[in-house]
Structure 1
Amino acid sequence: MKYPAQSPSVRRRVRAHRAMALAALHSDTSLKTRIARFRHHAEAARRLERKDGVK
């Protein structure tokens, strides 16, 4: 287990945001939109990790 302090629901949300970030990079939209979506979801994953006490 990579982050033992995290609850299973938080780990699922982090994984989901990471998956959405990668999917954003492969979407059929402009580069500006893809990067904005990627950054949004990557930051959400980082925020969840910090909130749950993982560094």
Structure 2
Amino acid sequence: MKHSHALNPSARAAAHKAMALAALCANSSLSTRLARYNNHMAKARALEAVGGAQ
């Protein structure tokens, strides 16, 4: 998704939070769902830190 980088960091962080919540509801094992959730939330936190610094 090349166009997703056009979004500002806070919008991208919100998108990662949405993907994190969706990962919890996925039809996968618990460990897989938690790994995906944690991965997306880590990206969201990093993007929020970048967005807050601007």
Q: Please give the TM-score of this superposition, normalised by the length of structure 1.
A: 0.76
* More off after superposition, 43-52 vs 22-31: 43-52
Identity %: 47
- Provide the aligned length of Structure 1 versus Structure 2: 47
Segments of 5+ residues of structure 1 without an aligned counterpart are 1-7
2:50 maps to 1:35: no
Segments of 5+ residues of structure 2 without an aligned counterpart are 1-6
Q: Please give the TM-score of this superposition, normalised by the length of structure 2.
A: 0.77
Spell out the pairing of 1:1-55 with structure 2 (5 A cutoff). Answer: 9-53=8-52
**Greater per-residue helix proportion:** 2
Query: Which runs of at least 4 in structure 1 moved beyond 4 Å after TM superposition?
Result: none
* More off after superposition, 44-53 vs 20-29: 44-53
